[in-house]
Structure 1
Amino acid sequence: MNLQSTLRRRLAERRERHLYRELKTLAAAPGPAARVDGRELVAFSSNDYLGFASHPAVIAAQQSGAELGAGATASHLVNGHLQIHAQLQDKIAEVTGREAALVFSSGYTANIGTICALVGRGDTVVSDKLNHASLIDGARLCGAASLRFAHSDLDALERQLGRAAETDGNILVAVDGVYSMDGDCAPLAGIAALCRDYGAWLMVDEAHGFGVMGSESLPAAGSVAAAGLGQEDAPVVMGTLGKAAGNAGAFVAGPRELIDYLVQFARPYIYTTGMPPAVAAGGLAATELMQREPQHRARLRGNIDHFRARAAELELPLAKSASAIQPLLLGCEKTVMSVAAELQQSGFLVGAIRPPTVPAGTARLRIALSAAHSEEQIEGLLEALAESLSAQKAASA
């Protein structure tokens, strides 16, 4: 069978299983109002948790950064490391409470590059079963033995650490701080304690924690700080600049030796053109806003609390999540697609998440809240959700 025939068959199978993905074309970054395929919608599908993608100061910084050049013109080590990159790295290290930081072009390349640099044959990666795809792929590609444990199950983690300890290699434990499809936080204090007991290194993906949670002294550092952990407890922290920071790219933060090591051995960093200076300038401005304007986090927290309280009153099937990610579990792929389509007709854009992104039987609407959402917009979504689910229930009765 030729290539086109094979691809047509596989695509047809995806459509039949209600798993086919389609692109939506937006006129601009939603803030949270969005023009999608020519129609005005309120977006509850964005990871722009603080509303920084449309913040005037962040946009102005990007425009100013573009004056440094449209692109970095080469990889960081060849010719593409600019002063704005160094400033961004210093600010990230300060905000996360780490000795140093290194910027990458994306969270995916940061995770793969870091894991493959730190461990290989003879070593072991121990991962949560619900880890982000980039952590999963890093574990697959690095050449180390790969062990997984049931989601946030400390007993299961200890069993896998015991297996890994039977070998002579290094052990890397890789987890999400906040899980992107469930919105729950990893039990990081317990995980860190087990890592200490077994001599394992802890790597935490802060893609959805950076900027929106932290400790009293490091309010934007992420879930690691919120769990009361420092650099010695979690020596490898990855975060993205495309979510709460509203820009693009990512970073790894930790001890100075870690960053120096990644510059030498992280292939996606070494062999990729540097981050465009405009993006670095925007990321720097957003990170500075996280420090000096805590009201954005306060508004986000208020929106999360209001949404959950009203959803409980309406008896909506929400998962347990205290983060900006609020999954509404429906199970059936066809139902998820139907409800998402009805919400779009009502003026709301919500992500319909299906396998293989989530396990079979756990299809859900992924509702992402932002500091930029108004109470009126949240109420409108809740009313539309309640109406759509009620109609679905009546139709299946």
Structure 2
Amino acid sequence: GVFSMEGDIVNLPEMMELAKEFNCATMVDDAHSIGVLGENGRGTTEHFALEEEVDIVMGTFSKSFASIGGFIVGDEAIIHFVKHFSRPLIFSASPPPASVATCLASLDIIEKEPERRARLWEITRYMHQEFKSLGFDIGSTQTPIIPIVIGDDMKTFQFWKELRQNGLFTNPIVSPAVSPGGALIRTSYTAIHTDEQLERVLEVFKKVGTKYGLI
């Protein structure tokens, strides 16, 4: 649904048209979409109003659910097949009760506190705008995952190190996680980031970006 490094959203309507044309089943990996996309946080399929069209949706409990494990959703026949033929499932244990409780509590928050999602998108729009105005290349991101494209692997690691020395936690991403020559600093945002924290992020990026000639 959402590409984990660059933050762009799959063109699901186009994919569905191709699936129909060639009689293919469709499966959406919504690991980075659940809780974020869609009016109710139901993910990519809700975002595009295609919940009844996609055959399989899978996701993780390690992102917006703040836990461990994952899920797969589909018709009864599909789930029956997975239960009996998926080796990872057959040889896995049940999740710990505490992890299940965390998932349920997170689901309650996603469903009952839409103001958190609204705040997240407010932050997202602001950071997109501010990074662009500073002159950074943020690629084609459409989500709270905002990459700062640098290109060179070594410069990316040096940039990341200076960000960390200035108190910012980010992720340096190089090939094969991205295409060769497309190394980037991955930043991501939550609904509880404060305005002061966001301004600090921009201040540090401006300082380090100027030093390395990115802006």
TM-score (norm 1): 0.53
Note the alpha carbon deviations across 1:59-78, whole angstroms, 9 max, x for none. xxxxxxxxxxxxxxxxxxxx
**2:30 alignment counterpart:** 206
The within-5 A match list for 1:86-101 is none
**2:104 alignment counterpart:** 284
Deviation of 1:361 (Å): 0.3
Number of residue equivalences:
214
Q: Give 3-state SS (helix, strand or coil) of 2:175's partner.
A: coil
Deviation of 1:256 (Å): 2.0
The answer (yes or no) to whether the contact 2:61–2:70 under 8 Å persists in 1 is yes
Q: Distance in 2 between matches of 1:293 and 1:245?
A: 14
**1:322 alignment counterpart:** 142
More RCO (CA 8 Å, sep 6+): 1
1:351 pairs, out of 155, 166, 171, with 171
- Alpha-carbon RMSD across the aligned residues, in angstroms, is 1.2
Query: Does residue 1:192 correspond to 2:192, yes or no?
Result: no
Ranges of 4+ aligned residues in structure 1 off by more than 6 Å:
none
The answer (yes or no) to whether the contact 2:173–2:184 under 8 Å persists in 1 is yes
**1:263 alignment counterpart:** 83
**1:178 alignment counterpart:** 2
Query: Does residue 1:221 correspond to 2:15, yes or no?
Result: no
The answer (yes or no) to whether the contact 2:61–2:103 under 8 Å persists in 1 is yes
Give the residue type in structure 2 aligned to 1:317.
D
The answer (yes or no) to whether the contact 2:28–2:58 under 8 Å persists in 1 is yes
The answer (yes or no) to whether the contact 1:210–1:220 under 8 Å persists in 2 is yes
The answer (yes or no) to whether the contact 2:136–2:149 under 8 Å persists in 1 is no
Larger radius of gyration: 1
**Percent of paired sites with the same residue:** 30
The within-5 A match list for 1:292-307 is 292-307=112-127
Note the alpha carbon deviations across 1:200-249, whole angstroms, 9 max, x for none. 0001100000111114xxx1110111011023x21110011110111111
Q: Distance in 1 between matches of 2:93 and 2:124?
A: 38
Q: Distance in 2 between matches of 1:310 and 1:259?
A: 44
What stretches of structure 1 of length at least 5 have no aligned partner?
1-176
Note the alpha carbon deviations across 1:142-163, whole angstroms, 9 max, x for none. xxxxxxxxxxxxxxxxxxxxxx
Give the residue type in structure 2 aligned to 1:202.
T
